[in-house]
Amino acid sequence: MKKKILFIVFFILSLSFYKSQEYNRKQLDSLLTHAQDFFVKTPNNAIPLNEKNYKIFQKAGYSKGMIESLYMLSISHLGLGHYQKALFYAQETEKQASEVDDYKYISNGLRISALLYSLLGLHSDAKKMFAEAFSISDKITDSDDFYEARGNLYNTRIEMSAYSTANPMTVPEYFEYAKKIANIFSKIKNTKVRSSYLAFSYTTLGWVYTEKKMYDSAYHYSNKALEMAKNDGNLHNECIALNILTYTSMKQKKYQQAIAYLEKLIPLSQKANEVNMLQSSYKSMQVSYKSLSNKEKEMEYLNKYDVITDSLSRNDKSLRETSVQKIALEREKTFIDEKDKLYLLIIAICLMSALVSYFGYKSYKGYKQERKKIKHKEIVIEEKEYQLTELKLKVNNAFEEVVELAKKDDSSFLTRFSEVYPDFIQKMHLAYPNLTPGQLKFCALLKLNFSTKEIAHYTNITIRSVEIKKGRLRKQLNISSTEDLNKWMMNL
């Protein structure tokens, strides 16, 4: 009897637990709204919440929640430099949105993919994706969704320009885009959404006005963005606004004022997990204290900057290479699938041609036309294979060979580097003919994105000696102390 009672109690409790895991539509909407609010305020901390929600939405068959969770995950991973995961979630956003004709998120998925391709140096593909995203945004019927998507597209256009060394935007072009973005976002009717996007667009205007040396306007828009971000409790926008205010102050050489902004920005960046902003904050602190002749503080923040930079550089280099390799493999698989389909098509055409040959000259003429089409497709495949080969060259054996020679401090390193990167060496010789072989070797290590610690280790010198060499090189090449030396060499 007791066993029967225990069984009944256990069954009722199990049933209650199962029921507690089910959500109605109102509860699902509430989960999504909470996730959206949290994401907007601190996107880099929103990954666990959106991963959890996605599973709940998937179990409930709630496609809207699934798609928006995927989109927020793509943004969060992008902000943390997780390019491969960001690309996966962006592509999944586009895929699942396409299944339900959600044009806003089809456009958003393509937009984030375009930004990632641009960041990885695949600018031709990025432009095509961006153009497709822009075209699809025209199909969005809800006015708020349209203005949100279109404003984000223009903002992404600015970001893609920053990654392109071939055709970057001029300051006047930035200014026109910044005004256009602010105007578009101001048309959003939803107060909360409008406030978040407007605050972000005002920081862009603050940066542009700083570049134009219109400092009163720069402070006006940046402070306006900061006030809106604080009112909204938006840590992300608050960090960006403080970062622009710091930048404006440093441009005016108001270093004490810049430090005051940075003392607010650094803890906020840590709280919001804004690692890239934290890195730039340490650098700005170091430069500001150097300008104020405070050696102790200068070295304190230089050390902090070096630590976070070394960590981010290693991760960034690895993640970029892995992402490019993955894209290359996916393309190769796509090309192989296209080949298989083409071969099946050729076989089918040949069989059909044997049958229709009985119908005379007209059928024969049609067959010849089909053969021309096949030839054209083969040429297209050959062109794609050539593009794939070019992509693979970015991660070829020559690069690995040069890195290994550098790590061994091999005497043939500079010679081999000159063969692999002849343009770089030629540019350095033409622009700076007085550089010694030793200095060229040091420049080559920076070009390969070796960190301060790595250079010291592989060349058997102290970290301090490397920093001195960097300082002398900056002076000789007339490179600003705010410029990242590795990036300068890599972009040359």
Q: Where are the alpha helices (DSSP H) in 61-142?
A: 63-79, 83-99, 103-119, 123-137
Question: Are residues 328 and 446 both part of a single domain?
Answer: no
Report how far apart, in Å, the C-alpha atoms of 402 and of each of 224, 381, 395, 396 are.
Answer: 50, 32, 12, 11
3-class SS of residue 42: coil
pTM: predicted TM-score of the whole model, two decimal places: 0.61
Q: Is the pLDDT of residue 64 over 90?
A: yes
> By the 8 A CB rule, do 88 and 104 touch?
no
**Structural domain harbouring 189:** 181-307
d(CA 353, CA 258): 77
Q: Provide the sign of the torsion angle of the four alpha carbons 189, 192, 196, 198, taken in this order.
A: positive
Question: Are residues 381 and 432 both part of a single domain?
Answer: no
Angle at 407 between CA 405 and CA 412, to 5 degrees: 25
3-class SS of residue 254: coil
Overall domain count for the chain: 3
Q: Which residues contact 320 (CB under 8 A, 6 or more apart)?
A: 83, 120
d(CA 85, CA 100): 23
**pLDDT for residue 463:** 93
24 sits in the region (left: phi over 0; alpha: psi -120 to 50; else beta) called beta
Question: Are residues 232 and 288 both part of a single domain?
Answer: yes
d(CA 423, CA 472): 23
**pLDDT for residue 19:** 43
User: Residue 272: which CATH number?
Assistant: 1.25.40.10
Q: Which amino acid is at 357?
A: S
Residue that the structure tokens 């102050």 belong to: 249
**Stretch 433-453: mean pLDDT:** 90
Residue that the structure tokens 């029967």 belong to: 4
Question: Are residues 355 and 427 both part of a single domain?
Answer: no
Cβ-in-10-Å burial (0-12, 13-18, 19+) of 390 comes to: exposed
**Stretch 213-222: mean pLDDT:** 94
Average pLDDT over all residues of the chain:
83
Question: Are residues 420 and 486 both part of a single domain?
Answer: yes
d(CA 492, CA 490): 6
d(CA 207, CA 204): 5
> By the 8 A CB rule, do 131 and 117 touch?
no
Q: Is residue 143 part of a domain?
A: no
Question: Are residues 406 and 389 both part of a single domain?
Answer: no
Question: Which contacts (CB < 8 Å, 24+ apart) does range 357-361 have?
Answer: none
Q: Domain ends where: 347, 367, 393?
A: 393
Place 81 in a pLDDT band, splitting at 50, 70 and 90: confident
Q: Is the pLDDT of residue 14 over 50?
A: no
> By the 8 A CB rule, do 307 and 288 touch?
no
